[in-house]
Amino acid sequence: MWFRLAAVAVLMAASCAQARAQSSPLLSLEDAMERVAQSHPRLRLFELRRQTLAAEQELAVQTPPWMLGAEVENALGSGSYRGFDGADLTLSLASVFERGGKLDARRALAQSRIDGLSVQREMQRLDVLAEVARRYLAVGVAQQQQRIAERDIAQRRRALQAARQRLQAGASPASVMLTAQAALARAELDRDRALQQQTAARQYLAALWGDQQADFRVGDAGMFELPSLATLPVLVDYLQQTPELARFASDQRIGEARLQLARSQRNADWQWMVGARSIEGGADVGLLASVSVPLASASRAQPGIRLAESELAQLQVEREASALSLYSTLVEAHGRYQLDQREVARLQQQVLPAWEEAAKAAERAYRAGAASSLEWAQLQSELIQAQRQQLAVASDAHAALIEIQRLTGQPMLAGPQEVRP
């Protein structure tokens, strides 16, 4: 009794969840990306970084400050220096005369860091949008898994009905009907699992824009429609313009600005001071001036210059390594996509129609008493397995396409219902 009530409760819960999912509004991938682009913290953070770099630029272009000084000597002593009668007062104005283009070097370094921020933001944007596409794809796959489970339930119900009729007619044992009931229960379990996966996948997607309510559906009508890709040489040309390589050009400009700033340290800054001194209570006044020049500035600047040069050389090697890694990933994703594309087409055009016809023929033969229930059940399982195989391969193909578009910086996957090449 309790087992039947629990089974009914589970079935009603699954039905309610399915009804809510079907009545939920359709969310396109463009809408999901727009929500993420407006609210994701990793993208909003760049505006704060820009403000930080702008403030650092203001600090970098400041010239050395002017220093006003006052100095009192021979005061508050003993004898003739008691009090301030014999005090000497000196007023001075001092600053630093920068040499070697240090101001221009600091300005160039600060500006190059601001310019490089746009490349970094584009890299982050592509990563975030690729993550949106992956999670959107996961929701579409879960919806397709539910549809496959529903088709399996429908054919298992037909098998159960046929087994019950043959049992009533005394043409088959009760074990056949019980086996059909177990197969139906397993198909319903797969359907319930797919519904749970949908809920989790939608919540995982909505979490990207900070929404705790995931009341939407995604388009998956074109899950098995895989567009043709450009040739590998064309994609490699796109790869040269990707932000992941463009950032090295930005980093090189920053490194060159740091090198120029390090080289400017070879020219010593002059510290100068001019002033006036009142002598013996102000009876006489004299002018004074001084210049201080640090020694051995050129040799002291050499370690910083070598450091900046070494960083530039390392940057070139890092770019070559990154380009090789990106190329390898692109080649692997391109090959995987083409292979999956051919497999999905072969399953769609040859394998699935053959299994469907075989399952229908087995059903007719079973109802006519010319085939066993085991043969029909085996063909039903093979058909469902082939449909799941097609879904898995199509999902892998879409994942490879997302990776290709992330690498090349081309428009993101528009979702299973509208795939853009």
All structural domains of the chain, each given as residue ranges with its CATH number in brackets, are 33-408 (1.20.1600.10)
Structure confidence by residue, pLDDT tens digits, 188-246: 999 999 999 999 999 999 998 888 887 888 887 678 888 888 888 888 888 888 888 88
| Residue 95 β-bridge partners | 272
The confidence score (pLDDT) of residue 415 equals 41
- Range with lowest mean pLDDT among 95-99, 166-170, 247-251, 344-348: 166-170
The confidence score (pLDDT) of residue 288 equals 86
Query: CB under 8 Å to 246, separation ≥6 — which residues?
Result: 119, 122
- Res. 8: pLDDT tops 60: no
240 vs 150, higher pLDDT: 150
Is the separation of the CB atoms in 285 and 338 below 8 Å?
Answer: no
The confidence score (pLDDT) of residue 23 equals 59
The pTM assigned to this predicted structure is 0.79
- Res. 420: pLDDT tops 50: no
- Res. 405: pLDDT tops 60: yes
Percent of the chain with pLDDT strictly greater than 90: 30
| Residue 270 β-bridge partners | 97
Q: Quick one: which of 45, 46, 49, 65 has its CA closest to 57?
A: 49
The confidence score (pLDDT) of residue 175 equals 87
Q: Position of tokens 């079973």?
A: 366
363 vs 18, higher pLDDT: 363
Percent of the chain with pLDDT strictly greater than 70: 88
Which amino acid belongs to residue 369?
A: G
The confidence score (pLDDT) of residue 373 equals 83
Give me the chain's average pLDDT, please: 84
